[in-house]
Every structure is written in structure tokens, then in C-alpha cells.
Amino acid sequence: MAYDWNFSIFIPYWPAFLRALVVTIELAVYSSFIGTILGFLLAFALRLNVVGRLFRLINDIFRAIPVLVLMFFFYYFPYDSVGVPAPTAFYAALAALTLAQANFTADIVRSAIDGVNVKIIDGARSLGFKEHTIWLKVRLPDVFRQILPTLMAFFIGNIKLSSLASVIGTEEVVYVAQTAVGQTFRSLEAWVIVGSLYIVIVLPLTFFSSYIESLEWMKRKS
């Protein structure tokens, strides 16, 4: 028996899907931007001799916790007991995604800094460059070249991870789809719509990421 597809039943839900799509993009963009900045700061902290060990332990602990569990923690934490206003579902999800991005970024930035060719650093010092100039002109450009493709991949991953926010009531696309399914009892069409929306966002970013990796300056080795 052939399945009777009926997408027209979801026409009234399109405004909600479009609003939810904006929420999905906001979660991905904000968490990636803030998390990347925090990740850079954490990467430098991880390279400290004594304190770095403590930061590394904390970073490893949070990396081991699934993003979904972090969302539950930030959403259900008893904020009243510490006199702090409870965040909305959106900000609880944003905090979890940001923390995951920061932990991930810290690791790849630290690894990239340690991976800069020592001979180039020594050569710059022999030419009389000061340390801050070496960082700006030698280290950071090479670090950026190493981490950009990976950060792009994780940004795309953040878009998909934002779907987890539906479980705490964040009104992104999966949440709207679940609401629509509960009212129309047409689950297959709803998930086709959700999948199509993610394709519309993710596919261009995937092509852009591949283009960035193909650029000549990205292929340059230290």
C-alpha cells in the first residue's frame, strides 16, 4: 500500500517553522562566536605550566559530558538556591552549546600553537622580531590556517546539535515539528520538512568550507 503524502496540511505551520529556523541559526551563530573566543582564552590557559593542568582537567571533564546533559543541567539547575534568575530554555541551550564549542576550540587551538614550526619561530627571533610581533606575524596566521577548516566543521555541527534544544522547550525547528506532529498525526512529512530546512542551511556552508580548504594559502605549510 502506497503512502499518501500530504504536505499541504503543514502550510499553516510554515510561519512557525521559519521563526524556529531563525532560532536554530541564532543558537549556532551565538554559541560558535562566543565559544570560539572563550576557547582561544582557554587554549592559552591550558599551556600554562601549573594552572594549565587544572584547566586541562576541567576541560576534559566537560568534554566527556554530552551536550544534551549540559542542556538539562543548565535548564534544571536550582538557581533560586543561589539567588540567580533562572534562564529561559533558549539561554540554557546556548550555554551548553557555547561550553561545548569552547572546550573543542581550546583543544584544537592549543594543538595548533604547539604545532607551529619551531625553525620558523627561531628564524624570526634571529631576525630581531619581538615576541608580540612573532605572535601576530608568524604564530597566529599559521594557527588560523590550521584550525579554520575544523572550526567550520564544528560550526556546521553546532547547527545540527541545536536540535537537541527541543527537549528543554526551545522553540527551534524540531520543537515545532513535534508540535505539528502532535496536532496533525503526520510525522513523516514533518521530519521531511525538518530535514529539508537543515539541508538548506548546512549544504551551502559545507560547500563554502570545501572552498576555503581549497584556497592556496590554506594549503601552505609551515
Residue with cell 594549503: 219
Residue 85 contacts residue 79 (beta carbons within 8 Å): yes
Stretch 29-44: mean pLDDT, rounded?
A: 93
Residue with cell 571533564: 61
What pLDDT, on the 0 to 100 scale, is given for residue 1? 65
Q: What whole-number distance in Å separates Cα of residue 70 and Cα of residue 38?
A: 17
Whether 208 shows a pLDDT value over 70: the answer reads yes
Distance of CA 147 to the CA centre of its chain: 14
Report the chain's terminal Cα–Cα distance, integer Å: 61
What pLDDT, on the 0 to 100 scale, is given for residue 202? 94
DSSP state of 85: P
Share of the chain above pLDDT 70, in %: 96
Query: What domains does the chain contain, in order, with CATH numbers?
Result: 11-219 (1.10.3720.10)
Q: What whole-number distance in Å separates Cα of residue 24 and Cα of residue 13?
A: 16
Residue 96 contacts residue 127 (beta carbons within 8 Å): no
Q: What whole-number distance in Å separates Cα of residue 24 and Cα of residue 155?
A: 12
Choice between 61 and 123, residue whose per-residue pLDDT is larger = 61
Q: Which of 52-61, 65-74, 153-162 has the lowest mean pLDDT?
A: 52-61
The model's pTM is 0.89
What pLDDT, on the 0 to 100 scale, is given for residue 141? 80
Cβ neighbours of 32 (radius 10 Å): 23
Whether 217 shows a pLDDT value over 90: the answer reads no
What pLDDT, on the 0 to 100 scale, is given for residue 53? 85
The tens digit of pLDDT for each residue in 85-127 reads 999 999 999 999 999 999 999 989 988 888 777 787 878 778 7
